[in-house]
Amino acid sequence: MGFLCATQSIFFSILSGEKELNSLLKEIDYYLHLLETYKSEVSKKYMLCARETVSILIDKGEANSIEAKEYHGHWNVSDPGDKFLDTFYCHQVLRNFWLGYDERCRHFAYKGFARIRQGSYLYHIIRFYYGLNLLEMLKKKSIISKHREVVEVIESMKDAVTHANANNRNKLELLEAELHGLDARHNKAEALYDASIASAKRSKFIHEQGLACERAGLYYKKMGSMQNALAYFQQAHACYKDWGSIVRAEVIQRELDCFNSNDNNL
């Protein structure tokens, strides 16, 4: 039971961004070392899944990966009774969202929606990242059905806020900011980006604070407000570094390099 509680703690640390990723990786490795003595195949399966996610979030697993294939053999996508699949699909949504693999993110979100209880925390987490994924799709091409779906995601997030404001307020505000920006309601978008950043900071969700800063930077860049874009990208970069995500910090660094390049060309 102690190990199962530890797996839950690790999972929620990933979702909340409350621990620096390299520190979290060391904590997982500590539990995996203990599991060599105190056998628990179920706990090991969850720990290895979490470790792979953390490793991917740090640097796509380039420097921190281990041979984790053994846990793959313990779940069966054809077995609807395998509870591990709920967690596995959520991990896949997280990994693919943060890596920018939009189609794979949507694929695993659909898998999760098909089996995870509506209204559960896990369900709302997947809905949040899925909603942001849909908004990125709509920025490239307007699709009425997808626009309606985003509105539905926002409505479900409003319900989540009534049950757990601190966990969900920043997520709702970011989704609303992105939708208002898409619909050219710029004053509301700008206010909600700042609100989302502030809410994430209050809840100590450093990764989602960085995400709100990143999306605000991209919004201002699109609007041609380059000074504002630069300021938000700098905040996003600092958040991602504090989180310990090299892969996300590098994405923002490329945006910052564009500003440096433009300054050199002046």
User: Mean pLDDT across the stretch 188-197?
Assistant: 98
Full domain range(s) for residue 114? 81-158
Q: How far apart, in whole angstroms, are the C-alpha atoms of residue 251 and residue 248?
A: 5
pLDDT at 70 over 90: no
What phi, psi does 15 have (nearest 5°)?
-65, -35
Residue 258 lies in a domain: no
Residue ending a domain, among 131, 158, 185, is 158
Residue 149 lies in a domain: yes
Number of domains within the chain: 3
Which pLDDT score, from 0 to 100, does residue 266 have? 37
In this prediction, residue 73 has a pLDDT band, given cuts at 50, 70 and 90, of very low
pLDDT in tens, 150-184: 999 999 999 999 999 999 999 999 999 999 999 99
Residue 212 lies in a domain: yes
Confidence (pTM): 0.92
Question: DSSP secondary-structure letter at 19?
Answer: S
Burial of 117 (0-12, 13-18, 19+ CB in 10 A): exposed
Same domain, 125 and 177: no
User: Mean pLDDT across the stretch 217-241?
Assistant: 97
| SS3 at position 108 | helix
Residue 15 CB neighbours (<10 A): 17
CB of 113 closer than 8 Å to CB of 78 = no
Same domain, 93 and 54: no
Q: Which helix (H) or strand (E) holds 219?
A: helix 206-223
Which pLDDT score, from 0 to 100, does residue 265 have? 46
CB of 51 closer than 8 Å to CB of 66 = yes
Look up the CATH number of the domain holding residue 229: 1.25.40
Which pLDDT score, from 0 to 100, does residue 136 have? 94
